[in-house]
Structures are given as C-alpha cells and as structure tokens.
Structure 1
Amino acid sequence: MKAQSTLTCPVCRHQATETMPIDACQFFYDCAECGTRLKPKPGDCCVFCSYGSVPCPPVQENRQGCCG
C-alpha cells in the first residue's frame, strides 16, 4: 500500500506530495499556491481519490469506490 500521493490543484496545477491518513478519508485540502480549497468530486470519498496520483489507503485496501 502506498502512503503518499501527489495532489494536483485543478485551478493552478500546483503539485504537492502529501502523506495520506491511513485509516480515514481527507475531505478537504487547501492548495499551498493559490489557496483553493479542494473537495472530493461527486462519487469520490476524498481529495486523494479526486486529485491525487494514488487513491487513499482505505480505497487501496478495499478496492472499492468509497471508503466507509
């Protein structure tokens, strides 16, 4: 299981590699470059599943579209 994911801001395209929570989903993330608050896209459980290079650990573990 991968613990890091690179988030890409959809507004300014800034990228930041972050360590993901192991046992939870992260619903919000503030872009360090432009300040945009990222929220999951409809159907995704967290910002890593929507904007990251790797889905969150609960999704990696469960291989499902959403963590519970």
Structure 2
Amino acid sequence: MATYGTLTCSVCGYQKTEQIPTVACQWFYECEQCHAVLRPKSGDCCVFCSYGTVPCPPVQDKGRALGCCS
C-alpha cells in the first residue's frame, strides 16, 4: 500500500509529494506555491483521492466504490 502520493494543484499545477494520512481523511490541502486551498471533488473522500497520484489507504484497500471515512 502506498503511503506517499504526489498532489497536483488544480489551480497552478504545482506538484508535491506528501505523506498520506492513514488514520483520517485529509479534507483540505494548501498549495505551497499559490496558496489555493484544495478540497475533495464531489464524490471523493479526500484530497489524495481527487488530486493525488494514489488514493488514500482505505480506498486503496476497499476500492473507490466503497469509499472511505464511512
């Protein structure tokens, strides 16, 4: 299971590899470059599922159809 993922800012395109939380969803992420605050897209549980190269650990385990944080 991947515990790191690269987030891509939807505003400026800046990318940064971050550690994915394993015990809670990350609902907000502030871009280091433009300071935009990213929030999950509709239907996603966290910013890693919306903007990351890999989804959060619960979704990696259960699959997107079952979701996370439920």
- Do the two structures share a fold, i.e. TM-score over 0.5? yes
Q: 1:56 maps to which residue?
A: 56
CA distance in 2, matches of 1:64, 1:14: 25
Percent identity over paired residues: 57
Decide whether the 8 Å contact of 1:3 with 1:22 is kept in 2.
yes
Q: 1:8 maps to which residue?
A: 8
CA distance in 2, matches of 1:24, 1:59: 12
Higher mean displacement: 32-41 or 19-28: 19-28
The CA RMSD measured in Å over matched residues stands at 0.8
* TM-score, normalised by the number of residues in structure 1: 0.95
List structure 1 segments (4+ residues) > 4 angstroms apart after TM superposition: none
How many equivalent residue pairs?
68
Q: Deviations over 1:6-59 (max 9, x none)?
A: 000011000000001112110000000000000000000000000000000011
* 1:23 partner amino acid: V
Higher mean displacement: 2-11 or 55-64: 55-64
Q: 1:25 maps to which residue?
A: 25
- Structure 2 residue runs of 5 or longer lacking an equivalent are none
* TM-score, normalised by the number of residues in structure 2: 0.92
